Structure 1
Amino acid sequence: MSPASLLAPLALLASCAALVPVHAEDGGANASVGWHPLGEEASAARDVAAIEALVQAFPDSGTLRLRLLTAQFQDADIEGVLATLDWLKQRGYVFTGTSQQQIPKLVGKENSDRARALLIPEGEVIAASSVIDTVPADAQLVESVVRDPKEDRLIVTSVIGKAVFGHKPTGGWDGYAPKDAANLSGIALDPDRRIVWIASGHIDGSESKSGFAGLIGLDHRTNKEIRIPAPSGVSLSDITLAPDGTFYASDPAGGGVYRASPDATEMEVLIPPGTFRSPQGLALNDDGGLLYVSDYRYGIAIVDLATKKISRLATGLKLILDGVDGMWRHGQELIVVQNGTSPMRISAFKLADDGMSVVANRILEQANPAWTEPLSGNLDGDSLLYVGNGQWDRFVAGEPAQDKASLPTQIRRLPLD
């Protein structure tokens, strides 16, 4: 088999990796580093030089290292390949069995033993969460969950169903479909104002752009809806709330981040598209002065909300900081769902006192056999509530995939301490 024909499977390596648990301390915080703006050329970079430039800007991205690995194979840069494999091994990266068989062949017989020594046989399974409820299959693609502590009621969003589902007083589930809503995804609760905020946007991959795009607030005090439209062409997904009621929302397709107060008539642009490629999870520090933004394939950005200066979350540890979907601040840690790794994982990144770097890491859960794809959720005291078996693979462009019926959705609770 020729190297060219063997290269094709390497494009799948980003979905064929695992990270083994790490728990380490780094005595010194990294100096603040700037965020490199990301235009369309970042996604288009395929040659070694272009990807290496991105690696310099985002040194903790596993996705970029895999892209670099593919380019190095294409250039027959075997020493470069081995160096990249070593980088991945130091961070506990585990390839699938198929890839572990292919890689030694790709580097040639004289280097095959060196390559095998850089491949970790398997990653550790950590199953630490428990199922606390199951949403009926009729809800289809459930994206996120929050618990209303006052009513002890779980509330979930459905992307495809364009509806919100919650517990009935009798213990079952009931649904509410906001009129003319688009895909419903991120959800957050303002407990003081008794408002549940839901992101409505066009995120299912279909060509249809009908339906309201923005934030929908369900006011429990008045039983009325509040609607705050997003700018034209913007589709919101993840959201987070500040203590003063200001909310922040990301547009993973357009690349911008937006904010508004509860009484706003429209969302305002906080970070315009072109700075991020696919912003997803959002989290605030305790005083609300810093906003953490996960850019899915590149890393985690830090926005100073007073100045709008953007920095990159750095680390002196051997960690991978991309692949983050959901993200929350819990004390001195960022809790992250990294479903962009394989096996997927949920980690706790301990931050330096200034919040600008990761100084320790705990893997809370990894490769749970009950998972399909862990998705988003919300903190509930000292636990994370999240969707354990995401079903994005069961829908194509907003429609059910052939021979893949919807399944009941597991809502899981993961202790954080």
Structure 2
Amino acid sequence: MLRLTILLAAAISTTSCASRIELPGSVLPPEQEAAAVEGMGAPEPWRSVDATTGQIADAEGLIQLAEDFPDSASVRLRLLGNAYRDDRPDDVLQHWYWLMDRNYSLGHQTVVQLSAYLASKGEQYTEGVGDDLRIAHEATLDLLRESSELITAVPETIRLPEAVLRNESNGRTLVTSIVSRGLFVQDGGANWREIAIADAGSLAGIALDEPRGLIWIGSGVVDQTPNPETAFRGIIALDRITLEERRRVPAPDGVSISDIAVGPDGTVYGSDPVGGGVYMAALGDNAMQTFIAPGTFRSPQGIAVRPDNTALYISDYRYGLAQVMIRSRVAYRMRAAEPMLLDGVDGLWLRGNELIAVQNGLDPQRVTAFELGQGIGVIASQRTLEYGNPDWKETLGGAIAGNSLYYIGSGQWAVYEGGGVFIEGSVVEPAQIRRLQLVETPPE
């Protein structure tokens, strides 16, 4: 897996690009009325991005990028890094405050580095900054939420678990694996067992197609895939009850499907976060077709389908959220009615009128509910569901079941390198599967 790590140290030294691999859910409840938001204006087209966009390093180009993606912490960090390199203390302070206002933490080492830099430019750049940092830190502490609960753990023998699907009625838990290249099941708290899938690749996204009784899984190749030449690339359907294979649909040559979602008509959508494309397979298709060609998104991740089958919501890990109309395939940038961060989104699910997002590309990591507003591409508000849980290592894939989000809270990507080789000296721990309640309940 390529990982996009949003760290200021990297932004100051160089501009890098990677990606996350994750999973959206697929069982969608009925639509709810969207919130009315005044003054949002007409929908705004999504600016196409690719690998060359990540190489923009001049101030003018980055300023334009920030105008095109005004809710991206990644772009703002690049602006901050540019201002630091070009010795523009006014801009450094401005971008720093922008991030603080959105509860983004730069980390201790970076704060020390920037504080020393500003102090060397005169006290007009340090007066009040210490108090503001203290206030921002206290605000962050107020946001800290350990809302989820641990329900089970994946043993270390299952290497690099990526996503989880949970059946609340019988306690069955399914987990996909990148390095073990398999699907594993735990029935009602029993031991884990592997489900045989011939030529399975690195399995990532998993989604339920409840009307047709199928479980869909994305299969592909990433850097950590052992023996990639033997891996099937595409999507695989299993019987929901027996877990026997029912269908598989290959992706175009060189495409690796990770995140997936199922529309109400049974169409399966999948993203390729490395290649940048989004693909689809309708009922009866023998091969996946291109839905959005590479070049529109840099690293598409989570996907959610509207229950009226008119649009997809897609996360681009570096730049933010998009709404793509299914009929025209035109992409619009999601616009926030209040200050918030829309990038760093790995998993994405639609529940009622809220997009539930796992934002593991922000610091601290968080799970956020974005309330949709009326019109195309409008986010009316947000609520923080979980923030900076100290039990987290890396929040990964999951799915919504009932009123809860089930997800992996302790990713293991950092302990494997190319070909799935274990990095010497690393420590592998059982991967946590956590449950986060999405509906607030009144105290007893």
Distance 1:218 1:378 in 2: 17
1:65 alignment counterpart: 76
Establish whether residue 255 from structure 1 lines up as the match of residue 265 from structure 2. Answer: no
> By how many angstroms is 1:112 displaced?
2.6
Letter in 2 for 1:30: M
Distance 2:55 2:322 in 1: 21
Report if the CA contact (8 A) 2:170-2:188 is conserved.
no
Distance 2:61 2:354 in 1: 33
Establish whether residue 411 from structure 1 lines up as the match of residue 433 from structure 2. Answer: yes
Partner of 2:350: helix, strand, or coil? strand
Establish whether residue 121 from structure 1 lines up as the match of residue 137 from structure 2. Answer: yes
Distance 2:375 2:218 in 1: 30
Distance 1:65 1:177 in 2: 45
Partner of 1:79: helix, strand, or coil? helix
Letter in 2 for 1:41: T
Unaligned ranges ≥5, structure 2: 1-7, 17-34, 440-444
1:3 alignment counterpart: none
1:103-118 to structure 2, matched below 5 A, reads: 103-107=114-118, 108-110=120-122, 111-113=125-127, 115-116=129-130, 118=132
1:18-417 to structure 2, matched below 5 A, reads: 27-28=37-38, 30-31=40-41, 32-107=43-118, 108-110=120-122, 111-113=125-127, 115-116=129-130, 118-119=132-133, 120-121=136-137, 123-124=140-141, 125-148=144-167, 151-168=170-187, 171-205=190-224, 209-210=228-229, 211-220=231-240, 223-354=244-375, 356-397=377-418, 398-417=420-439
- Structure 1 pair 207–197 and aligned structure 2 pair: CA distance change class (3 A): closer
Report if the CA contact (8 A) 2:167-2:401 is conserved.
no
Give CA deviations for 1:290-323 in whole Å, capped at 9, x if unaligned: 1000000100011000111110000121111100
Partner of 1:40: helix, strand, or coil? coil
Compare 212-221 and 339-348 and name the one that shifted more. 212-221
> By how many angstroms is 1:39 displaced?
2.4
- Structure 1 pair 13–297 and aligned structure 2 pair: CA distance change class (3 A): same
Report if the CA contact (8 A) 2:15-2:57 is conserved.
no
- Structure 1 pair 375–220 and aligned structure 2 pair: CA distance change class (3 A): closer
Partner of 1:137: helix, strand, or coil? coil
- Structure 1 pair 416–68 and aligned structure 2 pair: CA distance change class (3 A): same
Partner of 1:34: helix, strand, or coil? coil
Partner of 2:110: helix, strand, or coil? helix
> By how many angstroms is 1:233 displaced?
0.8
Unaligned ranges ≥5, structure 1: 1-5, 15-24
> By how many angstroms is 1:360 displaced?
1.1
2:30 alignment counterpart: none
Letter in 2 for 1:97: H
- Structure 1 pair 170–328 and aligned structure 2 pair: CA distance change class (3 A): closer
Distance 1:224 1:206 in 2: 22
Report if the CA contact (8 A) 1:129-1:414 is conserved.
yes
> By how many angstroms is 1:109 displaced?
4.4
Structure that is richer in strand per residue: 1
> By how many angstroms is 1:263 displaced?
2.5
Give CA deviations for 1:149-186 in whole Å, capped at 9, x if unaligned: 56441111011110101124772211124221210000
Report if the CA contact (8 A) 1:100-1:116 is conserved.
no
- Structure 1 pair 11–340 and aligned structure 2 pair: CA distance change class (3 A): farther
> By how many angstroms is 1:355 displaced?
5.2
Give CA deviations for 1:176-207 in whole Å, capped at 9, x if unaligned: 24221210000011122221111001124469
- Structure 1 pair 29–143 and aligned structure 2 pair: CA distance change class (3 A): farther
The count of corresponding residues between Structure 1 and Structure 2 is: 402
Distance 2:271 2:297 in 1: 10
Compare 197-206 and 368-377 and name the one that shifted more. 197-206
Report if the CA contact (8 A) 2:164-2:406 is conserved.
yes
Percent same amino acid at aligned positions?
A: 38
> By how many angstroms is 1:359 displaced?
1.0
Partner of 2:211: helix, strand, or coil? coil
Distance 1:29 1:253 in 2: 36
Compare 140-149 and 337-346 and name the one that shifted more. 140-149
- Structure 1 pair 218–46 and aligned structure 2 pair: CA distance change class (3 A): same
Letter in 2 for 1:195: L
Partner of 2:217: helix, strand, or coil? strand
> By how many angstroms is 1:7 displaced?
7.0
Distance 2:153 2:300 in 1: 29
Distance 1:129 1:150 in 2: 19
Distance 1:273 1:264 in 2: 21
Partner of 2:90: helix, strand, or coil? helix
Give CA deviations for 1:218-244 in whole Å, capped at 9, x if unaligned: 125783341100000101110011122
- Structure 1 pair 257–29 and aligned structure 2 pair: CA distance change class (3 A): farther
Distance 1:180 1:321 in 2: 36
Q: Which contiguous aligned blocks of 4+ residues in structure 1 show a shift greater than 3 angstroms?
A: 6-14, 114-119, 148-152, 204-209
Compare 352-361 and 306-315 and name the one that shifted more. 352-361
